[in-house]
Structure 1
């Protein structure tokens, strides 16, 4: 078999194998489509009422989103609607009075009931308390919401419950059937306006996925339309989604970690690179094994061994001259023969003996070195 024929058979077998694999794949799999909800980006990441605002706008209404309640900037009109997502107990007394005055003349206010809190409920003059809404910390039961043509829905399963003390007239009420008079949704009449109090607002939010559909679910849109019905199509919807500002440090830690974490690692690496490295511990220095006299003697022997005897003589001579300057300054100030004569007169020594002591000995003459050092020491001691 030629080489060309062999290569042709190998190529044919490879093509046949590929054909079998493709046929099996097409036989066992078919093309299909799947809808995947992409993660939110931009404004929906921090505004949970973004979907509600856009839905109202597409329906021909006017809607605005605000982080905080700002009554002077909002300029509320009798046909407007204000929906507050956060705790209404965070409002100031002036804001509470402003909202109630506006509702009394035809406004529609939508609030979320809160669980009882001793600190926040201590004042007794909050917005919910003035409306006769009392928080309840009991167990919440799911309420069935049925839309024609749709599957049955369970709403208000995880929210708060509240009771009404009767100070405000109730227009609609939807609550548990357990007989404890707890309410999940109530519409109260206040003057010419209305106040809706909800135990939960999950059906009004954007939704985070398959388990939290939010306004993407048709029954939720119908329920939202029912809640917003009093002034729907009349005025502006003001959607307040963050009464309480988030902590700066919490935001930095939660959202800014892609920046501060690499910077922190780089800082630690730089500190590690610049830090001083210590080796093994050094042993303690040994205690001195020689006395001072032994050190002096060893130093003198070293200088003598290397022919540095004039240094030894000069050290003794300088010691003598230092004492001479203290005992006889006039003799120390002289030089040459005059100084020798003055020293001889002061010590009452022969001048020849003083001259011998003051002359530098030869570097290799040990006898002369010892003799002159001896004379200098005697002269020093007699001063």
Structure 2
């Protein structure tokens, strides 16, 4: 290849690289992207964490906890209490304490009891306010006006949808000071009680962290409409004592004891488990019968081992050991029944045993004497007489 061709190929390669670089710079744009990270710390277990942070940024005093009453943070006049739990699970003592707090100037925000979904039930906290049954609706929302800031620093009014699923009913005799609702039912009602106010909301899901995620300033307003609408709606719940006292955010006050949860939701499993345990105990229990346990059944392996041991001793000329063992067994059995006969020796013992058993005295005397060594016939004879003697003693 000549030098001129090398120069031409080099220029073509440089031109191609330049075109690719120009296309890349023209087509792609450097842009920062925010990636949501999984929650950690308090945000994991506190569903009202976003509301707590938002109130702190508004310079409000906030305390969030799982239990309703805390000695370190007592309720004062002017405080706002938001209970995420079902008010029907509150005890009479807790309900009376909350009503007294509202009467002396406090503000309480609760959701309508879910226990009223199927049947009427008196809830001590809402007794006398005329709050009726909880209902579900589909695709029917309230329109809440929000104010958004556009990119050109001017405000834009917009109406967004909230409370698209939950409603509740009010009795005709109820006298709320403020009601938000539609033809499907009531979504929000505010009642005056003593010097304070009580707010009943169809659902407090709008106060949870996912619905209150703050939108970026440069993001599209339509993409964050739900967050802005929920934030504006929740801000109206907290208006009566805004800037006066402390906001108490209770996110788990309806948590009953473990035994109550088991009794209400797992009694079928507990009954089945109790029956299984009772059946297992009945199978394993000691049966009624004699005080002494039954003797163990003979095992084939043990009998084979005993027989093999006897065969081994007999084969190696130790038959007298087998005879001595059987004679000791017969004498021990005789000692339990007739100690005098067992204490005698020789011919006197043979004569006394002959009188008791009816066997010949000569055979008894031969049975009690050791067999001659290496005499199989004499060994079998004396063993047979010992077995007969043992049966008759």
Give TM class, smaller chain: 0.5 to 0.7
> Which residue pairs with 1:200 in the alignment?
203
Q: Give runs of aligned pairs for residues 262-301 of structure 1, distance below 5 A.
A: none
Q: Which structure has the larger Rg over C-alpha atoms?
A: 1
> Which residue pairs with 2:162 in the alignment?
155
Conserved 8 A contact 2:206-2:230: yes
Q: Cα distance 1:20–1:243, how it changes in 2: closer, same or farther (>3 A)?
A: same
Q: Cα distance 1:157–1:331, how it changes in 2: closer, same or farther (>3 A)?
A: same
Task: Output the TM-score relative to the length of structure 2.
Answer: 0.56
Conserved 8 A contact 2:169-2:186: yes
Task: Output the TM-score relative to the length of structure 1.
Answer: 0.57
> Which residue pairs with 2:285 in the alignment?
none
Which runs of 5 or more residues in structure 1 are unaligned? 2-9, 250-284, 286-291, 334-345, 348-357, 361-368
> Which residue pairs with 1:38 in the alignment?
37
> Which residue pairs with 1:133 in the alignment?
131
What CA distance in whole angstroms lies between the structure 1 residues aligned with 2:379 and 2:108?
A: 115
Q: Give runs of aligned pairs for residues 178-327 of structure 1, distance below 5 A.
A: 178=184, 182-207=185-210, 217-245=227-255, 311=317
Q: Give runs of aligned pairs for residues 301-380 of structure 1, distance below 5 A.
A: 311=317, 330=346
> Which residue pairs with 1:81 in the alignment?
80
Secondary structure of the residue aligned to 2:105 is: coil
Secondary structure of the residue aligned to 2:102 is: helix
Secondary structure of the residue aligned to 2:242 is: coil
What CA distance in whole angstroms lies between the structure 1 residues aligned with 2:63 and 2:380?
A: 109
Conserved 8 A contact 1:53-1:239: yes
How far 1:247 sits from its partner (Å)? 8.2
Matched, 1:171 2:177: yes
What CA distance in whole angstroms lies between the structure 2 residues aligned with 1:144 and 1:233?
A: 27
What CA distance in whole angstroms lies between the structure 2 residues aligned with 1:211 and 1:234?
A: 25
Matched, 1:99 2:87: no
What CA distance in whole angstroms lies between the structure 1 residues aligned with 2:126 and 2:105?
A: 18
Conserved 8 A contact 2:211-2:230: no
What CA distance in whole angstroms lies between the structure 1 residues aligned with 2:258 and 2:125?
A: 28
Conserved 8 A contact 1:206-1:215: no
Q: Cα distance 1:377–1:77, how it changes in 2: closer, same or farther (>3 A)?
A: closer
How far 1:150 sits from its partner (Å)? 4.4
What CA distance in whole angstroms lies between the structure 2 residues aligned with 1:72 and 1:154?
A: 40
> Which residue pairs with 1:273 in the alignment?
none
Q: 192-201 vs 373-382, which deviates more? A: 373-382
Conserved 8 A contact 2:104-2:194: yes
Conserved 8 A contact 2:211-2:226: no
What CA distance in whole angstroms lies between the structure 1 residues aligned with 2:382 and 2:237?
A: 121
How far 1:82 sits from its partner (Å)? 0.9
How far 1:43 sits from its partner (Å)? 0.6
- Deviation string 1:234-268 (CA, Å, 9 cap, x unpaired) is 1111111111238889xxxxxxxxxxxxxxxxxxx
Conserved 8 A contact 1:205-1:215: no
How far 1:14 sits from its partner (Å)? 9.7
What CA distance in whole angstroms lies between the structure 1 residues aligned with 2:69 and 2:84?
A: 14
Conserved 8 A contact 1:162-1:183: yes
How far 1:155 sits from its partner (Å)? 0.4
- Deviation string 1:361-382 (CA, Å, 9 cap, x unpaired) is xxxxxxxx8xx77789899999
- Deviation string 1:246-291 (CA, Å, 9 cap, x unpaired) is 8889xxxxxxxxxxxxxxxxxxxxxxxxxxxxxxxxxxx9xxxxxx
Secondary structure of the residue aligned to 1:137 is: strand
What CA distance in whole angstroms lies between the structure 2 residues aligned with 1:381 and 1:219?
A: 108
How far 1:36 sits from its partner (Å)? 2.6
Q: Cα distance 1:374–1:92, how it changes in 2: closer, same or farther (>3 A)?
A: closer
